[in-house]
Structure 1
Amino acid sequence: MARRTGIFFGWQVVAAAFVVAVFSWGINFYGPSVYLHALHAREGWPLSLISAAITLHFLASGAIVTGLPGLHRRFGLVAVTRAGLLACAAGALAWGHATSPWQMVPAALLTALGWALTSGVAINAMVAPWFDRRRGAALSMAFNGASFGGVLFTPFWAALIAACGFAGASAWVALLVAAAGWVLAGRWLGATPQALGLHPDGAAGPPAPRPLAAPAGPLWRQGPFRSLSLAFALGLVAQMGLLTTLFSILAPALGEAGAGLAMSLATACAVVGRTVVGVALPPGLDRRLAGSANFLLQAAGCLVLVLAGDAAAVLVAGVLIFGLGIGNLLSLPPLIAQAEWPAEQVAAVLALLTAVNQAFYAFGPAIFGAALQGWGAAAPPALAAGLQMVAAWVLVTGRRRAN
């Protein structure tokens, strides 16, 4: 089929991974803010109680994701992805039908399972076998589904809740994800390049081998892994925390409608920034340098927000600069891991990296919310800028040790 259409099948896999990312991020990453608002409005439960269940969602997912490479080896990509999408659907349904606080616990554990089986490590596993030289561009396109998960699903949730309530909305979302995801996984994720007689990137021959010596010892004892995981954990704490408080920072100057539009523009900038880096990143460039530059770009945007005061145009400029780096915190770690570890270890590196990241950023909203409440609107972007500058330094320091 791939030869008849003239389209390299790997790009169809990228499109399928894009859709999986839309579903996964729409339910598991952007969805929790919807659950927080909807359950507080419907049930009157304290925000702190619902937030604790959301923190459980992220922490449990981080614990589960370390086993994902083993699940892929044992059951295959199709079965695990289907299970993950069904867990996403069941979790959304459970959040929507929770009528007692304890029911948020099984809901959080279901979405945690779905998030672990369909998020960044899974997207990399779908795309990586099909690309070598062009992996950066392919991963960027697939991970753009994460941004579109926010662009598409957040208003979709809002419209459905307005039309049929949170319980009804969750039922429609669950049906869509379960039905479409089941077909998608079976149709596009079961093939391998070898089974179709293809080579990575659609090339005439296999890529030249790039032998890398396997580092000694467990991952957590390896300096390059520690620096990579700590840098991106700090960056994601800053990003998650600032995004949680950003609407509240912008609303006094821009109004609620303007603040919402500015946050949508940040998401659009994430797509632009990720695509530019994925397509334009030179193959020979040290990818840690690209990661450090991305952290510093976001830090610059945060400092603009600190200095903006009530100047609407300056606030928007800070949001746009910050937004350009949002998407690369997802797409750069797989590229760094590809360059620094043997191919057979990359999945384990990304799984443990994701677990560390989620263990850190699960607490970002609480930390930044406290900073906003205690020190005002300038505190969250100032804190984020500091964390991102430290992250840039850690990543470069790890590069020196690794090389």
Structure 2
Amino acid sequence: MIRQAMSRMFYGWRIVAVCLVASVFANGLGLFGAGVYLHALVERNGWPTGLVSGAITLFYVVSALLLIPVGGILGRFGPQPVFALGTAALAGGVAAIGYVAAPWQTYAAFLVMGIGWACLSMTAVATTLAPWFERHQGRAVSIASLGASVGGLAGVPVLLLGIDRLGFAGATTVGAASAVLVMLPLTVFVLKRRPQDIGLLPDGAGASSATGARAAAWNRRDALRTAALRSVMAGFGIGMMVQVGFVTHQVTLLAPALGTAGTSIAVSATAISALLSRLVLARFADHMSARTTAAVMMMVAAASLAAMAVRPAPAMLVAGSVLMGMTIGNVTTLGPIIVRREFGAASFGAVYGIASCVIQLATALGPSFYGLLHDGFGGYRVPLLLAATVDVGAAVVVLAGKAKAAHP
């Protein structure tokens, strides 16, 4: 019975499942894990927060610069080589971070992790899924992005527990090995390039049922001239800078007030909130305005950051983290959904490749934005208030680009 049901299921949903698992490891060991590594390195070695934050910024800069070629490789050769390289690089960097003894080694480890993040990021996931879905593209991307919430939910507590039981090096080694053992078989045996290769069309239609005209293709130059794409790059660049900076510093922000156990619970609550909000988005993504939803998410994030800055009591830190969780997953997911809707599947890899490069470069500023302001002002109050202010601006920019996509 199960085998019959699997045979009737559109193969694209298997691609979604692999992308979901990839997001679990990429976010658990990469995005959310970076905050754990930051805290562990500062605590163990006594290095300044800003110094280690710079290594995390390098992580994002490297991945940003690779997103354009990653999109091209995915379009030309399919996801298998990209996901395989991403798994190897992420695992190698994570394993190395547990053994670093000098700042330059930290920067080298995060550089390698940046390669892995570029190959397994939401950009890679969305580009992998773009050929497989038309009517359900919002749902497919949203479901795959659930892996990011699962990674955040499990990654930080497991890493913190692993460090407590196995030591820093032992925990990162086990995490790296787990990624390789799970992801490489899925990459080799499940991933495929496009539905046409197995006689299907997007959403599972048979090849004989193809109807309608092919959507016009965009090139990067024409797309960059549109207010629609520029608003995505600017708005989501700011929004992601604020979001990733918070995630990176969340453990260090919460630990003095909540302790290790309380911090683990708060981070888990953040991830649960992100997971629930992503479930809601997966259900309604194909029937709502992605731009309006993104703007609302950024306003909620701004409110939560401001509340934590003004009243950094334990209860408010937990409540603010949970509110941030509602926005974390959806801000990440809505950018590619907007570009996919406004520019089409055929152009998605090229158009979102350049957009995501700009967004990721802005994102790279997040860890250092919080870290340098923390060191300069002696705490997180100023960086949180400034982050809230710029997030409001990001919401306005995203709304300003609504319904302004032009035809090529």
TM-score greater than 0.5 by the shorter chain: yes
2:155 counterpart of 1:153: yes
Q: 1:93 aligns with which of 92, 95, 98?
A: 95
Q: 1:323 aligns with which of 319, 322, 325?
A: 325
Is the 2:95–2:173 contact (alpha carbons within 8 Å) kept by the matching residues of 1? Answer: yes
Q: CA deviation at 1:207?
A: 7.1
Q: CA deviation at 1:20?
A: 0.6
Q: CA deviation at 1:138?
A: 1.5
Trace 1:108-123 onto structure 2 (pairs within 5 A): 108-123=110-125
Helix, strand or coil: the match of 1:326? helix
Q: CA deviation at 1:249?
A: 5.5
Trace 1:304-319 onto structure 2 (pairs within 5 A): 304-306=307-309, 308=311, 310=313, 312=315, 315-319=317-321
Helix, strand or coil: the match of 2:197? coil
Superposition CA RMSD, Å: 2.9
Is the 2:61–2:360 contact (alpha carbons within 8 Å) kept by the matching residues of 1? Answer: yes
Partner of 2:362: 360
Tell me, in whole angstroms, the C-alpha distance in 2 between the residues paired with 1:99 and 1:47: 16
Spell out, residue by residue over 1:381-403, the C-alpha distance to the aligned partner (whole angstroms, 9 max, x if none).
Answer: 43233212211111121225447
Is the 1:130–1:193 contact (alpha carbons within 8 Å) kept by the matching residues of 2? Answer: yes
Which amino acid in the other structure matches residue 66 of structure 1?
I
Q: CA deviation at 1:379?
A: 3.3
Partner of 1:267: 271
Partner of 1:224: 228
2:67 counterpart of 1:65: yes
Q: CA deviation at 1:134?
A: 1.5
Q: Percent identity?
A: 34
Change (3 A) 1:2 1:113: farther
Change (3 A) 1:384 1:94: same
Tell me, in whole angstroms, the C-alpha distance in 1 between the residues paired with 2:249 and 2:86: 30
Trace 1:14-33 onto structure 2 (pairs within 5 A): 14-33=16-35
Partner of 2:143: 141
Tell me, in whole angstroms, the C-alpha distance in 2 between the residues paired with 1:375 and 1:50: 16
Is the 2:373–2:383 contact (alpha carbons within 8 Å) kept by the matching residues of 1? Answer: yes
Helix, strand or coil: the match of 1:399? coil
Change (3 A) 1:110 1:218: farther
Spell out, residue by residue over 1:105-132, the C-alpha distance to the aligned partner (whole angstroms, 9 max, x if none).
Answer: 4322211111111111111123222222
Structure 1 range deviating more: 364-373 or 285-294: 364-373
Change (3 A) 1:262 1:35: closer
Partner of 1:177: 179
Is the 1:238–1:383 contact (alpha carbons within 8 Å) kept by the matching residues of 2? Answer: no
Trace 1:2-401 onto structure 2 (pairs within 5 A): 5-190=7-192, 192-203=194-205, 205-206=209-210, 209=213, 211-212=215-216, 214=218, 217-246=221-250, 257-283=261-287, 285-306=288-309, 308=311, 310=313, 312=315, 315-372=317-374, 374=377, 378-399=381-402, 401=404
Tell me, in whole angstroms, the C-alpha distance in 1 between the residues paired with 2:55 and 2:319: 34
Change (3 A) 1:157 1:74: same
Tell me, in whole angstroms, the C-alpha distance in 2 between the residues paired with 1:240 and 1:338: 23
Q: CA deviation at 1:304?
A: 4.1
Is the 2:128–2:193 contact (alpha carbons within 8 Å) kept by the matching residues of 1? Answer: no
Helix, strand or coil: the match of 2:269? helix
Helix, strand or coil: the match of 1:363? helix
Helix, strand or coil: the match of 1:26? helix
Tell me, in whole angstroms, the C-alpha distance in 2 between the residues paired with 1:101 and 1:377: 23
Which amino acid in the other structure matches residue 229 of structure 1?
M
Change (3 A) 1:62 1:2: farther
Query: With CA pairs under 8 Å and 6+ residues apart, which has the higher RCO, 1 or 2?
Result: 2
Change (3 A) 1:210 1:274: farther
Q: CA deviation at 1:21?
A: 0.7
Where structure 1 has 5 or more consecutive residues not aligned to the other structure, the ranges are none
Helix, strand or coil: the match of 1:143? helix
Helix, strand or coil: the match of 1:362? helix
Which amino acid in the other structure matches residue 291 of structure 2?
R
Q: CA deviation at 1:277?
A: 2.1
Spell out, residue by residue over 1:282-327, the C-alpha distance to the aligned partner (whole angstroms, 9 max, x if none).
Answer: 53x4422222222223233334445546483x55444333321111
